[in-house]
Chains A and B, each alone.
Chain A
Amino acid sequence: MGHYLVRRLLIALPSLVGISVVLFTVLALAPGDPFADMVQNPNVPPEVVMNLRAKFGLDDPVWQRYFRWAWAMLNGNWGFSFISRIDVDKLILGRLPVTLVVIGASQVLALLIALPVGVISAARPYSWFDRIASTFALIGFSLPTFFTGLLLILLFSIKLDWLPFVFRADISATGWEWWRQNILQAIMPVTVLGLLQGASWTRYVRSAMLDVIRLDYVTTARSKGLREYAIIMKHVVRNALIPVVTLVALTMPQVFGGAIVTEQIFRVPGIGSLLIDAILRNDTPVVMAVTFVLSCLVILFNLLADLLYGWLDPRITYR
Chain B
Amino acid sequence: MSELNDQIVQLEENANNLSALSEKWMERGEDAQALTLSDQAVQLRNQISILKAQNRTAALNSLAFAELAQHMDALNADAAKTEDQLQDVLGNVQTAQTVIGAVSKLVTLL
Answer yes or no: do A and B interact. no
